[in-house]
Chain A
Amino acid sequence: GAGVSQSPSNKVTEKGKDVELRCDPISGHTALYWYRQSLGQGLEFLIYFQGNSAPDKSGLPSDRFSAERTGGSVSTLTIQRTQQEDSAVYLCASSAQGIVINYGYTFGSGTRLTVV
């Protein structure tokens, strides 16, 4: 597609439930990132994919968070046993990562997660 697509755009869930957030990157973009932005806060790095591999997942806040990417395309971020502090906007970005150059990042519109 023309841009990075994220779904759902909004999600309200009860504390303790599992949620899945989806990201469709720009076709051909090999690099994919997940970030989190809590209310009034800056952007917090979660995980980076190059193809289907995640060479940097150091930003995942706990073992309740996991992510996968299949076919070098769609990525899913899963949060198990959600807590109220997980409430935030989850942003996905993709990039056409070259060997020695990065072509900049395109962000999706985000998924606003509210845990009640």
Chain B
Amino acid sequence: KQEVTQIPAALSVPEGENLVLNCSFTDSAIYNLQWFRQDPGKGLTSLLLIQSSQREQTSGRLNASLDKSSGRSTLYIAASQPGDSATYLCAVTSGSRLTFGEGTQLTVNP
């Protein structure tokens, strides 16, 4: 059974800092890994999708890496802004199911 773990569970940083969110998964037989953002009371917004054959993806200030053999992914956020405050979820696709981590709650203080 696939299990996804995210560290840390919560993170508070001052505006402008670069930060890294971590995700690990137990079964390396995945199709892809996806990072989502969830604002309070809202649905999920897809940030980055990394296929199993890829090592990283970038979008603006976001960079996600994937090391499938070790079962790890990181989401790097550069020059953080208060608008980045949200819960960040990592999810892996294996078989027919998307398995989520518990998320990292990020607060960026002005």
Contacts and interface: CB of A to CB of B under 8 A. Distances in A.
Interface residues of B, number: 23
B97 A102 contact: no
A91 interface: yes
Given A43-B89, A102-B31, A55 B46 contact: no
Contacts of B98: 33, 45, 93, 105
A93 B45 CA distance: 11
Interface of B: 31-32, 34, 36, 41-46, 49, 51, 89, 91, 93, 96-103
A1 interface: no
Nearest to A92: B43
B44 A91 contact: yes
A107 B36 contact: yes
A104 B46 contact: yes
Nearest to B93: A102
B51 A101 contact: yes
Contacts of B42: 109-110
A31, A42, A50, A104 — which one has the most chain B CB atoms within 10 A of its CB? Answer: A104
Q: Is the interface of A mostly helix, strand, loop or mixed?
A: strand
Contacts of A18: none
18 contacts: A31-B96, A42-B103, A43-B100, A50-B96, A56-B97, A89-B43, A101-B31, A102-B32, A102-B93, A104-B32, A104-B46, A104-B49, A105-B34, A105-B98, A107-B36, A107-B45, A107-B46, A108-B43
A55 B96 contact: yes
Contacts of B49: 103-104
A109 B51 contact: no
A109 B43 contact: yes
B96 A42 contact: no
Nearest to A48: B96
Given A33-B98, A48-B97, A102-B32, A110 B43 contact: yes
A73 interface: no
A27 interface: no
Contacts of B46: 104-107
A114 B103 CA distance: 24
